[in-house]
Amino acid sequence: MRSIAQTFQMPTIQSIVPTMVPANQVTKMNGQLGMIQSANMIIAPALGAFLFSIVPITMLILLDVVGAVIGVTIILFVKIPEHPVFDEKIQILSDVKFGLGQLKGNKGLWYITLMGMVFTLLFMPAASLYPLMTMSYFKGTVAQAGIIEVVYSVGMFAGGAVIGFLGNWSDRMKPILMSMLVMGIAFGASGFLPGNQRGFIWFVVLNTIAGIATPFFNTLLMAMIQQSYPPENLGRVLGILNSLMSIAGPVGLIFAGPIADKIGVNSLFIIGGVGTLLCGLFVFLVPATRNVDKLLQERLREED
């Protein structure tokens, strides 16, 4: 039920941003939104651990409902710019077909979306087993497993801050490709670390670096998509994009446990790292993906 709700929630939020933010500030705004999300990921585990020590787990889970009520209440006081096209009657099948057609019509973004699916498929098994990697492979503690989650979020916060305050690139594909390179090396190298506490320290360092690199892919790609389609089409395109990206996750999770048992949890990080590097190599070698932002920037300049 939550996944279904998020299928509507996230595309709506992402499609509204370009209608409220000047075109030349879209990248920075996405970076700042990423900072807020990363800050939540840093604060939430610490707050959750504190509350878990003083309230029952059932009450702790109910905080999610309280947070949703507060969030919805705040949104009620936000004036969203009206757009007559958004008020058209929803036709699910035709909207899905239209969104898919729009996304496939831009070969560069379509290929990047497919690479994002492949990356999610390959890395999701490793990402789901972070605690097992810490406690089983590195012989660490529950606290150390939490440290890994926090340092990755801190890295994402730092990366989001750079984008949020300095994020004006003439060609955003360059930092996207660099982020794929850094993430691939960091994830892959994690799988080769020795299974001891010294290896865990390097695991912390590598995940911090990977966290810094992550927003440069997610945030800049989202900004490019937001600028590539008119507001009346954006929601349907993002709905398809998020669905395609999300569907690969559960598929990867199905195989996470059995594969970890067969080849070892650290090998999953090697697979994820190599897969990320191969996806980045594809994006670099295919002109449609490598030059997608250059063509977009030229089109935006002509429209201005």
**Dist. CA 209–CA 214, nearest whole Å:** 9
| CATH number of residue 20's parent domain | 1.20.1250.20
Q: Is the dihedral of CA 72, 75, 80, 82 positive or negative?
A: positive
| Number of domains observed in the structure of the chain | 1
Written as six digits, the tokens of 87 are: 């008020």
According to DSSP, residue 25 is labeled G
Written as six digits, the tokens of 186 are: 């960091």
pLDDT for res 185: 95
Q: What angle do CA 2, 54, 136 make, to 5 degrees?
A: 65
> DSSP characters for 137-192?
IS---HHHHHHHHHHHHHHHHHHHHHHHHH---S-THHHHHHHHHHHHHHHHHHTT
pLDDT for res 103: 81
Cα-Cα end-to-end distance for the chain: 42
pLDDT for res 28: 75
**Dist. CA 67–CA 160, nearest whole Å:** 23
pLDDT for res 10: 67
Tens-level pLDDT at each residue, the chain (304 residues)? 776 676 677 667 766 777 777 767 777 777 777 777 767 766 776 677 677 778 888 888 888 888 889 988 998 888 776 655 544 555 556 767 777 888 888 888 888 888 888 888 887 777 778 888 888 899 888 778 888 888 888 888 888 888 877 767 778 899 999 999 999 999 999 999 998 999 999 999 999 999 899 888 888 888 888 888 877 777 777 777 777 777 777 777 777 778 778 888 888 899 889 999 999 999 999 998 889 888 888 887 877 6
Domain limits at 224?
2-303
- Spatial CB neighbours of 52, under 8 Å, sequence gap ≥ 6: 60
Report whether 138 contacts 197 (CB < 8 A). Answer: yes
Q: What angle do CA 114, 120, 123 make, to 5 degrees?
A: 135
**Dist. CA 120–CA 275, nearest whole Å:** 10
pLDDT for res 248: 73
